[in-house]
Copies of this chain bind each other. A is one copy, B any other.
Amino acid sequence: MSTHFKRNLFLTNTSVEEALAQFLSTLQLDKPKAKTIKTTQALGRVTAAPVFALNNSPLYDCAAMDGIAVSSQKTIGASENAPLTLKLGEDYIQVDTGDPIKPPFDAVIMAEELFEGEGDDEIIIRQSASPWQHLRPVGEDIVKSEMILPSNHKIRPIDIGVLLSGGITQLEVLKKPSIAIIPTGSELIEAGAEIGEDSIIESNSYMLASLVENEGCTPNRHNIVADDYDAIKKALFDGVDNNDAVLICSGTSAGREDYSIHALRELGEVVIHGVAMKPGKPVILAIVKGKPVIGVPGYPVSAFIAYENFAKPILNHIATGSFAKQDNIVQARLTRRLVSSFKHKEYVRVKVGRVGGDLVATPLARGAGAAMSLVRADGFCIIEQEIEGLEAGSLVNVALCRPIEDLEQTVVSIGSHDLMLDIVADMMPSLYNSHFSSSHTGSLGGLMALKNNEAHIAPIHQLDEASGTYNIPIVKQLLKDRKMALIKGVGRVQGIMVKKGNPLNIQGLEDLPKHRYINRQRGAGTRVLLDFKLKQAGISPADIKGYEREAQTSMAVAAAILGDSADCGMGIMPVANTMGLDFIVIDKEEYDFAVPVEFLELPHIKAFIETLKNPTLHAKLEAIGGYDVGGCGEVVLID
């Protein structure tokens, strides 16, 4: 038993930069191999050598305009007062743009400057032509032997056109490296296979294969290899023998990693095992038969970070002979405090948007298992190893993973979650070329974000206990210094979600103390409503088992009930309907969007309001059930 629990302690904590430098100096990568291909098939490939033109372009002196070719000397003296008649064949020939111009002709007169002569073969000019006028000299665009493209250049469409014009029908490009990807772990199943009681769907290898493809390499995925030492050794040998590099996906646990690390120690040299970064610490950098083998940790986010930091530069070098370009870095204002440790460099996923002039970055879930937060992320805020944390409001560097243009046209929404936000986010890009980005912190968190200029809108459903009304009182109270409005959203039915068929026969709040409850986080509108209703009913929170267990959204509450780690929890009817749960109605509430008046004129906020009014949205919400869409999209000024 004891060895089982000590394995992780052997990980080293080398810094990211040091680890990569140490690995590369041990590895000694060869120059990439070259290959001759047709120019017409070279899009996206990388030149292996500089390319020099084989012919001039244009190939000869030629007309730059439609008109006539003349000998300039013969036109001397022509003017408005002394028009000159030219004879076809003798004094001029007719030319179209691109036609060759040969001696004795040395100039072109444009069609627009010609006048009809007496005969069909006569033309009158009223101005002399200067030598070489409207003539494209041979090689004007490309001179034979001129360098068209340098080496290590990624070929673009325009390059292909110019290469062909310069007489290049084939050229040397770098060979596409092939990269083996080996998923390992007995608990893994292929996507689509039947799910057992301890299955994990293998997905990392396909993410890695796509990343490898985007890097200009050919991925070569191995079938899942069980936790069997010999099988793993065999897969590694196959991988190294038939490819230029290997990515081996370790399991998430120290136990499973053992197989890879031991096999790599036996077959080759392990240069690094453990890097001072988070997520992604247990990365392995090894060399087998002179080829790089990277052990990628099992959690999806760890795998992604390990890929970006180690696999990407190395594969890029194998594919292009130079290292990957720097990421697209922007400066943004951090919306929340981020604590980190001196022990590691940390990559925090963030949402990014432009709010009132500034780019703002809002941190997402930090867990290594939270793969959805990678999908939702607009970029990574990188906290260097020597920095212990970053204060809210500080300017940070963010490596973007979405185009900045999209972010400029994005509504930043922070507040309470509702299914309608997903539908709105789905509709806005195709209808208005605008985007909708939401982070879920509950109603109060959203209003705080507006106060700090971190969001455009805050979806809220906050009951004012004194007046019994929704939303307007809390906005007035928290944002009194700012001119605010409310964009009306939907009415929603709030209640208790229970398992299908209500097996525990829960009838109302009075039954909660008998069962396992799962609550929402502090500041969530649903929790405020629960507390209000409990007080009215005279029930103490202390009597409810699980009152302290907090989920971030209604959806997460529903998932816990479905998974039987809880019996009941407050939520909204649309979620219960969507997730197939039964529902006990408690109250109806108003779910609206608080917005500073100044943002109402932004084109993406206008697009958002139009989307709220869209009958397609209403139909979709009514199909889910539990929504009242009357007034959706109306703007109410708060004074």
B-contacting residues of A (Cβ < 8 Å)? Answer: 1-2, 4-6, 8, 39-40, 43, 50, 55-61, 64, 66-67, 94, 96-100, 103, 106, 111-112, 114, 116, 120, 123, 131-132, 136-153, 156-165, 167, 169, 187, 191-192, 195, 197-204, 206-211, 213-214, 251-256, 298, 300, 304, 321-323, 325-328, 367, 369-372, 374-375, 401, 403-406, 422-423, 425-426, 429-430, 433, 549, 555-556, 558-560, 562-565, 578-579
Contacts and interface: CB of A to CB of B under 8 A. Distances in A.
Contact of A322 (B114, B152, B433): B433
A157 B214 contact: yes
24 contacts: A1-B120, A5-B112, A5-B114, A40-B191, A40-B206, A40-B209, A43-B213, A55-B195, A56-B563, A60-B197, A66-B255, A97-B298, A111-B254, A138-B563, A141-B369, A142-B371, A144-B579, A157-B210, A157-B214, A161-B207, A161-B371, A165-B203, A321-B430, A322-B429
A5 to B, nearest CB: 4
Nearest to A563: B138
Contacts of A325: 403, 405-406
A245 to B, nearest CB: 17
Given A138-B562, A164-B201, A374-B158, A192 B169 contact: yes
Given A96-B253, A426-B151, A560 B137 contact: yes
A210 B300 contact: no
Given A43-B210, A195-B59, A138 B374 contact: no
Nearest to A301: B158
A602 to B, nearest CB: 16
A154 to B, nearest CB: 10
A152 B428 CA distance: 10
Give the 5 A-B CB pairs with smallest separation, nearest first. Answer: A139-B559, A161-B207, A157-B210, A138-B563, A96-B253
Given A61-B563, A98-B187, A549-B131, A152 B555 contact: no
A375 B51 CA distance: 13
Contact of A201 (B167, B202, B321, B322): B167
A423 B204 CA distance: 43
Given A203-B161, A206-B164, A304-B158, A253 B43 contact: no
Nearest to A121: B1
B203 A97 contact: no
A426 B150 contact: yes
A98 B214 contact: no
Contacts of A422: 50, 146-147, 150
B57 A137 contact: no
A563 to B, nearest CB: 4
Contact of A206 (B147, B153, B160, B579): B160
